[in-house]
């Protein structure tokens, strides 16, 4: 049961949790649920608690984020499309950070950022078009860093200089800017894996396991080390099916 009017401690903890995890716009409180927004992330979050000792509650209205969190739904009345319960503030903080990362990386947040930054820029010459494309590529990389939490999902490498934003369907082959900037159209791979993936010497099955080209040498396969399969959504799988069709000589 949620406090119908937040006590001082609950209100302060909710505001601190929202602020420290990217939701810094205070949007008011209703029936014990405090609403927060962000200038960079899509959607709102609502926070509440049964009391100063918890449990703590989170309500979301971003369907894409709700799907990707894949958490049990709490049986509590409140705002949003789904609500979640947490025994401790630490558990709430961990999920809020992921909510923010997903909110800034999932459609259509990257597209809106791109359109804002390129509004009014000329695209007449090749040089001008390359400037616009570079802006888009930079946004795409930043959002993949958020989505994949700054780590190659295959190797665990987190050195930013060694990570590449790999398009599944290449930039030039995408039908529109929304697809080019879609985080589900990208993998954050270490440089060696990116080179192999970009040249279709490796692709991934629906379980996120690598499929290697028969043209790769034994030494190259040995150097393409990986710790665990890539965690994939259905949106990733749909695009990887396209990548597999374009790959040749896989074994």
Distance between alpha carbon 214 and the CA centroid of its chain, in Å? 32
pLDDT at 250: 59
pLDDT at 236: 96
Q: Rounded to 5 degrees, what angle do the CA atoms 19, 135, 180 make? A: 90
pLDDT at 1: 87
Cα separation, 69 vs 187, whole angstroms: 18
Mean pLDDT of the chain: 94
Tell me the mean pLDDT in the region 20-43.
Answer: 94
Q: 249 pLDDT exceeds 80? A: no
pLDDT in tens, 226-242: 999 999 999 999 999 99
Cα separation, 129 vs 246, whole angstroms: 27
Collapsed DSSP state (helix, strand, coil) of residue 188: strand
Q: How confident is the model at residue 102 (pLDDT cuts 50, 70, 90)?
A: very high
pLDDT at 108: 83
pLDDT at 91: 97
Q: 98 pLDDT exceeds 90? A: yes
ω into 108 cis (within 30 of 0)? yes
pLDDT at 40: 86
**Which DSSP state fits 22?**
T
pLDDT in tens, 112-147: 999 999 999 999 999 999 999 999 999 999 999 999
* Sole residue written with tokens 């040749």: 248
pLDDT at 171: 93
User: Is residue 71 left, alpha or beta, with left meaning phi > 0 and alpha meaning psi from -120 to 50?
Assistant: beta
pLDDT at 248: 61
pLDDT at 107: 76
Cα separation, 58 vs 208, whole angstroms: 30
pLDDT in tens, 199-219: 999 999 999 999 999 889 999
pLDDT in tens, 145-197: 999 999 999 999 999 999 999 999 999 999 999 999 999 999 999 999 999 99
């Amino acid at each position: 049961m949620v406090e119908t009017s937040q006590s001082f401690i609950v209100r302060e903890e909710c505001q601190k949790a929202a602020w420290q995890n990217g939701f810094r716009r205070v949007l008011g409180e209703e029936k014990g649920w405090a609403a927060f927004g962000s200038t960079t992330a899509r959607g709102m979050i609502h926070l509440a608690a049964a009391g100063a000792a918890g449990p703590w509650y989170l309500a979301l209205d971003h369907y894409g984020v709700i799907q990707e969190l894949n958490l049990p739904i709490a049986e509590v009345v409140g705002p949003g499309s789904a609500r979640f319960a947490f025994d401790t503030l630490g558990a709430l903080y961990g999920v809020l950070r992921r909510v923010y990362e997903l909110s800034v990386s999932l459609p259509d947040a990257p597209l809106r950022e791109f359109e804002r930054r390129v509004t009014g820029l000329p695209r007449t010459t090749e040089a001008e078009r390359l400037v616009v494309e570079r802006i888009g590529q930079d946004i795409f990389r930043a959002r993949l860093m958020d989505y994949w939490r700054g780590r190659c999902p295959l190797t665990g490498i987190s050195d930013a200089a060694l990570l590449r934003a790999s398009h599944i369907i290449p930039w030039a082959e995408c039908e529109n800017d929304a697809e080019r900037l879609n985080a589900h159209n990208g993998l954050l791979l270490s440089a060696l894996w990116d080179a192999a993936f970009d040249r279709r010497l490796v692709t991934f099955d629906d379980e996120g396991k690598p499929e290697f080209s028969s043209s790769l040498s034994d030494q190259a396969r040995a150097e393409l080390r990986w710790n665990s399969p890539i965690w994939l959504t259905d949106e990733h799988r749909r695009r990887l099916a396209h990548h597999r069709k374009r790959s040749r000589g896989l074994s």
